[in-house]
Copies of this chain bind each other. A is one copy, B any other.
Amino acid sequence: MGVSSITDVARHAGVSATTAKRALKEPQLLRPDTLERVMNAVTALHYEPDLRAGALRAGQSRTVGVVLGSVVEPFFAQLARTLGQELRRGGYNMLLTENEYQSAQDLTELRLLYGQRIDAIILRSGYGEESREYLERLHKRGVFITQVDYCLPGAPYPSVMLDNAGAMRQGVRYLHSLGHQRIATTGKYDPQLHPEGRSYTFPTAMAEVGLSVQPEYERVMFLTEDNAYDYTLDVMRLPHPPTALFALTGASAAGCYRALQELNLSVPGDVSLLSFDNYSWMNLVTPAITVLAQPVDQMARAAAGMTLSALSGVQTQPENQVFPAELIVRGSCAAPKLTALTR
């Protein structure tokens, strides 16, 4: 149909293809009248270059692939938006996909992205090792790789992370200072199934304030709302339920909260709730939820910045940027009941 190429423009203007594209890229080389003839042809034919063809020839696509955990989770949605804006400002396109927290899907997505010969990848890797070797290969082929939110243990790529360990310590210290001793987190660390920093640090953070994790509170699980819901129902029905729940993500906090409502437990009267992420609903529930907020936009800008400067040829050491979480105290945490303590 009306899909016109540079040769069509050239023919229409009565010049060669070379001259036609010079009109677009290096207009100062052309005589004014030639330039005008070509530009008239461009507007007449509504010519728009095929970026793929240019990219093919140039050997770079000016596209960055982004693989996130789940676009439905607001943390990632916000991350995606800011990444997109920043990359675009740097002259790059963003190709967005999700791995649904599965390393196997990482592999599928990365393959697809490499098929488009993306210049760089910003990756929130899935838990697991399936994609590891493939990432190395991409790296060797010159694809710049940045990790966000989660690091493959020992991976040599730069990263942008929350200070998960620090945040966990801060959270545990805060709950401990209120008098809590029996604290449960949504998700136990597991090197294969759930290898992330928050649950990893939890026992250490507890030990540092002289507490230990109750084994019956520990469960390896993915951090979905439904899993957190099931988990909360179960632990709160134990003979000695926790006096505080520590949700490792905003999505899991929603599950905890729903379960607590269903059990008719009052927050923070019967049980305190502390969560990562600062979603707007957390301010709307009664009581409002005390949270450890992540500086999402800063993190996105950092990741985009690292990628863009690497792509512009700046040589730097792989850098691991760590951002602190901010404890925002609202109403969902209080001292535990005395009866609960003495039980």
Contacts and interface: CB of A to CB of B under 8 A. Distances in A.
B285 A285 contact: yes
A172 to B, nearest CB: 25
How many copies of this kind of chain does the complex include?
A: 2
A90 to B, nearest CB: 14
A46 B115 contact: no
Interface string A119-157: 000000000000000000100111000000000000000
Contacts of A281: 254, 279, 281, 284-285
Contact of A1 (B52, B117, B142, B225): B142
Interface stretch (A12-20, A76-84, A187-195, A197-205): A76-84
A322 interface: no
Contacts of A258: 280, 283-284
Contacts of A71: 71, 77, 80-81
B115 A280 contact: no
Interface string A237-257: 000000000000000001001
A338 interface: no
Contact of A77 (B72, B111, B114, B279): B72
Given A71-B81, A286-B286, A56 B48 contact: no
Interface string A1-43: 1110000000000000000000000000000000000000000
A112 interface: yes
A186 interface: no
A258 B78 CA distance: 21
A53 interface: yes
A106 B111 CA distance: 29
A98 interface: yes
Given A49-B115, A71-B77, A80-B71, A140 B284 contact: no
Given A140-B2, A281-B281, A61 B52 contact: yes
Interface string A89-125: 0000101111000000000000110111100000000
B140 A1 contact: yes
A55 interface: yes
Contact of A284 (B3, B112, B261): B261
A61 B48 CA distance: 16
Given A81-B98, A285-B286, 20 more contacts: A1-B140, A1-B142, A2-B137, A2-B140, A2-B141, A48-B114, A48-B115, A52-B55, A52-B117, A53-B56, A71-B80, A72-B74, A74-B74, A225-B280, A254-B281, A258-B280, A258-B283, A258-B284, A261-B284, A286-B286
Across the A-B interface, the 7 shortest Cβ-Cβ residue pairs: A281-B281, A51-B115, A52-B52, A72-B77, A1-B142, A71-B77, A96-B96
